[in-house]
């Protein structure tokens, strides 16, 4: 299923390359390499953020705890709550130092060591990744033939209807993906430029990661916003810069919700905001992270089916009688 989804996303790339005269096999290979490069690029961005922020968390934790004590102690004394701040502070500093004692490279190395500790698990992970890209390559290589052979399993009388529904789903999803990709690129540029202008180190990386994460509705924005606030707090401390970061993300959300998405994606999916939230919860509970990622495309396909059923009901003798 993962290979089929990735192949569907990258199939327009293959078609564009073939249109300019590139061999289909080479075009499919280029699309697979593009997918691998995109995954690797996101991993590099995340590692870069961890590499910069983890040491800063460890260094600044004692100051945070001290400032919290100065602000919170008088409030608790009014409520007649007495705490042993020395014991609490030493315990918190020890816990933070232990949890964030390593840099990103050591944490990743330990993660790899944990995976490789079980040879069977390591082989399964590598085999799954290789199998996904291998299957994706051959799906891209014979895209049209694959669906033509799949249609042969349907009775001849159902093939026109199935072809019409498949075409409607493909048109809906293609337009959605193209519009969503454009929105992601524009927002990635907006957040990267805006955060870099604040003087935030690594603002370009966080901005690009935020823009690309917008593909996951609500969750992507929340993750990017949290990373930006954390990075800003580590570098600038509580102050006007935090307000500027909040304004940047608030303006970005307004730009996406009221201008970019209506203009570039439009109402192609035709889902009410409540239906969007329900779809995210439903598919997320069934399939976890990938369910959230695919909730809107799956809801769009479901909507095509519901429209088809509605048309048949409205054309029926029972409905009009």
pLDDT tens figures, 178-210 = 778 888 889 989 998 998 888 887 788 888 888
Residue 251: what pLDDT?
Answer: 92
pLDDT at residue 247 is higher than 90: yes
Task: Lowest mean pLDDT of 30-34, 118-122, 317-321, name the range.
Answer: 118-122
Residues 131-152, buried b or exposed e (16+ Cβ, 10 A)? ebbeebbebbbebeeeeeeeee
Residue 205: what pLDDT?
Answer: 80
Confidence at 1, pLDDT banded by 50, 70, 90: low
Q: What tokens were used for 228?
A: 């930006």
Higher pLDDT, 231 or 293: 231
Residue 54: what pLDDT?
Answer: 61
pLDDT at residue 53 is higher than 70: no
Domain ranges of the chain: 1-153, 157-268
In the DSSP assignment, the letter for residue 121 is H
Check: pTM over 0.75? Answer yes or no.
no
State which H helix or E strand residue 219 sits in: helix 219-236
Residue 178 C-alpha from the chain's centroid: 16
Calculate the CA dihedral of residues 12, 18, 20, 23 and round it to 10 degrees: 150
pLDDT, one tens digit per residue, over 41-50 is 877 777 776 6
Residues 10-22, mean pLDDT to the nearest whole number: 84
Sequence-distant (6+) residues with CB within 8 A of 285 are 291
pLDDT, one tens digit per residue, over 86-132 is 676 666 666 655 555 555 555 556 656 665 556 666 677 677 777 88
Residues 281-302, mean pLDDT to the nearest whole number: 75
């Amino acid at each position: 299923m993962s290979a089929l989804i990735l192949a569907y996303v990258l199939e327009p790339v293959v078609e564009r390359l073939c249109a300019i005269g590139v061999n289909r096999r080479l075009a499919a290979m280029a699309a697979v390499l593009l997918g691998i490069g995109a995954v690797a690029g996101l991993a590099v961005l995340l590692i870069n953020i961890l590499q910069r922020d983890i040491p800063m968390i460890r260094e600044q934790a004692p100051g945070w705890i001290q400032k919290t004590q100065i602000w919170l102690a008088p409030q608790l004394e009014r409520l007649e709550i007495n705490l042993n701040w020395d014991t609490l502070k030493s315990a918190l500093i020890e816990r933070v130092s232990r949890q964030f004692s390593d840099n990103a490279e050591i944490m990743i190395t330990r993660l790899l060591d944990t995976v490789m500790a079980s040879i069977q698990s390591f082989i399964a992970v590598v085999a799954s990744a290789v199998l996904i890209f291998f299957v994706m390559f051959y799906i891209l290589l014979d895209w049209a033939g694959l669906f033509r052979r799949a249609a042969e399993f349907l009775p001849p009388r159902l093939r026109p209807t199935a072809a019409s529904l498949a075409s409607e789903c493909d048109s809906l999803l293609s337009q959605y993906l193209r519009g969503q990709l454009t929105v992601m690129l524009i927002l990635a540029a907006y957040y990267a430029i805006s955060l870099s202008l604040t003087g935030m180190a690594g603002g370009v990386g966080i901005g690009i990661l935020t823009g690309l994460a917008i593909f996951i509705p609500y969750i992507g924005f929340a993750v990017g916003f949290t990373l930006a606030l954390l990075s800003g707090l580590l570098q600038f401390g509580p102050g006007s810069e935090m307000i500027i970061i909040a304004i940047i993300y608030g303006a970005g959300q307004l730009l996406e919700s009221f201008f970019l998405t209506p203009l570039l994606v439009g109402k192609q999916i035709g889902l009410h905001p409540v239906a969007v939230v329900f779809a995210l919860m439903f598919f997320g509970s069934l399939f976890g992270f990938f369910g959230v990622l695919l909730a809107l495309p799956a809801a769009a396909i479901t909507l095509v089916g519901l429209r088809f059923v509605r048309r048949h009901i409205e054309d029926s003798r029972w409905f009009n009688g």
